[in-house]
Amino acid sequence: MNKLPARVKLVDVGPRDGLQNEKQPVPAAVKIDLVHRLQAAGLTEIEVTSYVSPKWVPQMADNHEVMQGIQRRAGVRYSVLTPNLKGFEAALADRPDEIVVFGAASEAFSQKNINCSIAESIERFAPVVAAAKAKGIAVRGAMSCTVGCPYEGEVPPSRVDYLAGLMKGIGVEHVGVADTIGVGTPKKVQAAFEATFKHYGVDQVSGHFHDTYGQAVGNTLAALEMGVWQFDASVAGLGGCPYAKGATGNVATEDVVYLLHGMGIDTGIDLDALIDAGAYISQQLGRPTNSRVARAVLAKRQG
Amino acid sequence: MNKLPARVKLVDVGPRDGLQNEKQPVPAAVKIDLVHRLQAAGLTEIEVTSYVSPKWVPQMADNHEVMQGIQRRAGVRYSVLTPNLKGFEAALADRPDEIVVFGAASEAFSQKNINCSIAESIERFAPVVAAAKAKGIAVRGAMSCTVGCPYEGEVPPSRVDYLAGLMKGIGVEHVGVADTIGVGTPKKVQAAFEATFKHYGVDQVSGHFHDTYGQAVGNTLAALEMGVWQFDASVAGLGGCPYAKGATGNVATEDVVYLLHGMGIDTGIDLDALIDAGAYISQQLGRPTNSRVARAVLAKRQG
């Protein structure tokens, strides 16, 4: 474990990626409250909302209201998803620190999810990336299905290499290696990172794991061992798995923080305050938390 | 990941360690059926039952009935817990392949759990170990609280070193490094193994992780990276956590098998048959499985 970073930055994607995939709608005030609780717990990067058609993603129709309602904290970056130029222009008024574009490493997933090929999706993102850079807004490229795809099955590293190259080609500065359906295990995840490292340095790459098969903490460890120090996670494990109803989706931020602190890796996050934030949103959703750490700590608090 | 083993042996402790810690009693016939399903799925080592006073552990009062009811399969080893000579003598009639004695790395845990010091517990085990060896029965020493203790908090590796030395001193041939309350993270777990390796070779040491804080798969990976190739796990994650009600206990065998197979490590286990065995016992207990893999696979099977 030589390459282990001393410090890790976590991006909480719960308000956007998480809540978008929860069935129950959540009022804007609750989302704003969640963001406030996350930043109070020490999160310095929060994926807040998405600028897409409310016809497709009604859960994010309140994007302006949420972004305008946040009391911004110095040192915290607020990112938003803008899949096209229309979305990007709508987002501008809300002054995001970073925009996120999504591409898939699997052709089948790209077709089924956004109705175009990988190459076409990149063409569509190119003007968004250029516009963001012109405005001095950072750009993150989320690469989905880098290990497995619900339609194609296993995704070889060569597809990740291809996608990362396309992202680099349109000027995306940072890419996330996502195991969208949680099927990855450590060696496969490391292979996806290796393919990405052909185009990006370790400081420009983050990991995004789902815990559907209980492997997210192990995959995080495997990425840490490669020197990766930036990860997405979702408070309370918000967001289910759309490909296996009732199964777990995004890894819970609490569980990743527990891993990191246990290994002496600094995150700047107050785990107890984070657990409280997760308990708050879980209560709002009327369902138990998906974080094992939160479950254990809350059980112990109750005696 | 140089030291990764090519093959791993898993010991399913569900019938004993798991069911002993489930509130709901399970009939002997169901336990026997579970053992049959586990061996049919390819498990070659099963911790079946315990020979302790039914006053203390009523769940295991049917030890003879269960052991006598099993249709033994060639190549499968059946282990039982025998904490004292009386228990060992009771077990003899049932021809166990291996007996298990338990010691704690934490003084407070030893006192609270078995009402004596660590040194006293070892004195009590010594004649059991000698008697087993005289009969040609293998002996495993389970070392509990090797990372953390519900009463003392963090347990330093020096205490594991001490306990492993005592185990070695009375002739215990194999020891298990157990994170009984699931608080361990990879570096702490590796330190517990390092302390154990002062007394035992890697082939004489197994890992036993609890998933209470969601770290068991990561800890398994950390142990694999040290060359450890023997692990306990519990089908369906049977056995809760007595120190945090509602929290997860033993790591689910399914989740460990998924990790191993995903890394190309052979276990000889048919994961689908194992998931069926876990679904069977979960249904008998009237509760959902604690295996994330099983949850995802069962959800997908239902479409």
B246 contacts in A (CB within 8 Å)?
295, 299
Instruction: Determine the pLDDT at residue B92.
Output: 97
3-state DSSP percent of chain A in helix, strand and coil, to 5: 45, 20, 35
Contact status, residue A187 vs residue A253, Cβ threshold 8 Å: no
Could you report the per-residue pLDDT of A283-301, keeping only the tens digit for each?
999 999 999 999 999 998 8
Query: Measured between alpha carbons, how far is A109 from A102 in angstroms, rounded to an integer?
Result: 12
Within the 204-243 window of chain A, which residues sit less than 8 Å (CB to CB) from chain B? 211-215, 217-218, 220-222, 241, 243
The secondary structure element, H or E, covering residue A206 is strand A205-209
Closest chain A C-alpha to B218 CA, distance in angstroms? 4
Instruction: Measure CB to CB from residue B247 to each of A246, A263, A295 and give the nearest one.
Output: A295
Question: What does the block give as tokens for B9?
Answer: 């042996």
Least confident of A222-226, A240-244, B118-122: A240-244
Q: Which CATH superfamily is domain B9-302 in?
A: Aldolase class I (3.20.20.70)
Indicate yes or no: CB of A247 within 8 angstroms of CB of B296. Answer: yes
Token representation of residue A49: 């909302």
Which tens digits make up the pLDDT trace of B83-129?
999 999 999 999 999 999 999 999 999 999 889 999 999 999 999 99
Query: Cα separations (Å) of B273 from A112, B1, B33, B235, B278?
Result: 32, 29, 13, 11, 9
What's the pLDDT at B303?
72
Q: Is there a contact between B245 and A299 if contact means CB atoms under 8 Å apart?
A: yes
Q: What percent of chain A has pLDDT over 70?
A: 99
Contact B268, B31 (CB under 8 A): no
Q: How many angstroms separate the CA atoms of B204 and B173, rounded?
A: 7
* Contact list, B220 vs chain A (CB under 8 Å): 218
B146 CB within 8 Å of a chain A CB: no
Is the pLDDT reported for residue A23 higher than 90?
A: no
In this complex, do A221 and B218 lie within 8 Å of one another by their Cβ atoms?
A: yes
Is residue B202 classed exposed, middle or buried when 0-12, 13-18 and 19+ CB atoms within 10 A define those classes?
Answer: middle
Q: What is the pLDDT of residues A107-135, one digit of tens each?
A: 999 999 889 999 999 999 999 999 999 99
A262 in contact with chain B, both atoms CB, cutoff 8 A:
yes
B1 pLDDT above the threshold of 90: no
Three-class HEC string of B22-50: CCCCCCHHHHHHHHHHHHHCCCCEEEEEE
- Kindly list the residues from chain B whose CB atom is less than 8 angstroms away from the CB atom of residue A292: 211-214, 247-248
Cα–Cα distance for residue pair A179/B209, rounded to 1 Å: 25
Chain segment B271-301, per-residue pLDDT in tens: 999 999 999 999 999 999 999 999 999 998 8
Residue A218: pLDDT band by 50, 70, 90 thresholds? very high
Model pTM?
0.97
| Long-range pairs, A201-204, Cβ under 8 A, ≥24 | A202/A226, A202/A227, A202/A228, A202/A229, A203/A229, A204/A173, A204/A174, A204/A175
Nearest in space to A296 (alpha carbons), one of B153, B212, B21, B242: B212
CA distance A133 to chain B (A): 38
Per-residue pLDDT, averaged over B200-218, amounts to 98
Looking at residue A16, what DSSP letter applies? I
Phi-psi category of residue A48: left, alpha or beta, with phi > 0 → left and psi -120 to 50 → alpha: alpha
The type of residue at A233 is: A
Instruction: Give yes or no for a contact between B116 and B108, defined as CB atoms under 8 angstroms apart.
Output: no
Q: Which of A182, A259, A246 is nearest to A217 (CA)?
A: A259
What's the token pair of residue B226? 């040290």
Give the residue numbers of B annotated as catalytic, written as ranges.
241
CB proximity A248 to B under 8 Å: yes
Cβ of A212 within 8 Å of Cβ of B188? The answer is no
B75/A contact by beta carbon, under 8 A: no
Optimal mutation site among B295, B297, B298, B301, interface A, most CBs of chain A within 10 A: B295
Distance CA A67, CA A79 (A): 10
Of B182, B263, B292, the CB nearest to A185: B263
Cβ–Cβ of B246/A295 closer than 8 Å?
A: yes
B109 CA: distance to closest CA in chain A (Å): 17
pLDDT, position B2 = 67
User: Does residue B296 sit at the A interface (CB-CB below 8 Å)?
Assistant: yes
Given the structure tokens 């978008």, which residue do they identify?
A: A20
Return the ∠ at Cα B99 (arms to B97 and B100), rounded to 5°.
140
Other beta carbons within 10 Å of B25: 12
Q: What ipTM was reported for this prediction?
A: 0.95
Whether residues A246 and B220 touch (CB distance < 8 A) is answered with: no
Which residues of chain B are within 8 Å of residue A213 when distances are taken between CB atoms?
255, 258, 292-293, 296
Contact with chain B for residue A296, Cβ under 8 A: yes
Q: pLDDT digits over B127-154, tens only?
A: 999 999 999 999 999 999 999 999 999 9
* A39 at interface of B, judged by CB pairs closer than 8 A: no
3-state SS class at B246: coil
Task: Write the pLDDT tens digit of every residue in A42-81.
Answer: 999 999 999 998 888 888 999 999 999 999 999 999 999 9
Averaged over A6-30, what is the pLDDT?
95
B244/A292 Cβ within 8 A = no
Q: Taking CB atoms and an 8 Å limit, are A248 and B182 in contact across chains?
A: no
How do residues B34-93 score in pLDDT, each as one tens digit? 999 999 999 999 999 999 988 888 889 999 999 999 999 999 999 999 999 999 999 999
The pLDDT of residue A2: 67
Contact state of A258 with B295 under an 8 Å Cβ cutoff: no
For chain A, the structural domain boundaries read 9-302
Q: What is the pLDDT of residue A224?
A: 98
Q: What is the CA radius of gyration of chain A?
A: 18
Q: What share of chain B is helix, strand, coil (3-state, %, to 5)?
A: 45, 20, 35
Residues 6+ apart with CB under 8 A from B267: B7, B8, B9, B10, B42, B257, B260, B261
Round to whole Å and give the CA distance between A179 and A175.
Answer: 13
- Cα separation, B284 vs A91, in Å, equals 53
**Alpha-carbon gap: A206 to the closest alpha carbon of chain B (Å):** 18
Q: What percent of chain A has pLDDT over 90?
A: 90
B291 interfaces chain A, CB cutoff of 8 Å: yes
Structure-token match 């035992």, residue found: B200
Q: Report how far residue A199's alpha carbon sits from residue A192's, in angstroms, rounded to the nearest whole number.
A: 12
What does B93-151 look like in DSSP terms, one character per residue? TT--SEEEEEEESSHHHHHHHHSS-HHHHHHHHHHHHHHHHHTT-EEEEEEE-SSEETT
pLDDT band at B3 (very low <50, low <70, confident <90, very high): confident
Active site residues of A: 241
Spatial contact of A118 and A166, defined as CB atoms under 8 Å apart? yes
- Write out the H or E segment, with its range, that includes residue A153: strand A153-154
Residue A261: its chain B contacts at CB < 8 A?
A: 185
Nearest to B51 by CA among B20, B23, B18: B20
Chain B residue with minimal CA distance to A289?
B247
Average predicted confidence (pLDDT) for chain A: 95
pLDDT of A246: 72
Q: Which of B135, B139, B132 is nearest to B204 (CA)?
A: B139
* Contact between B222 and A217 (Cβ < 8 Å): no
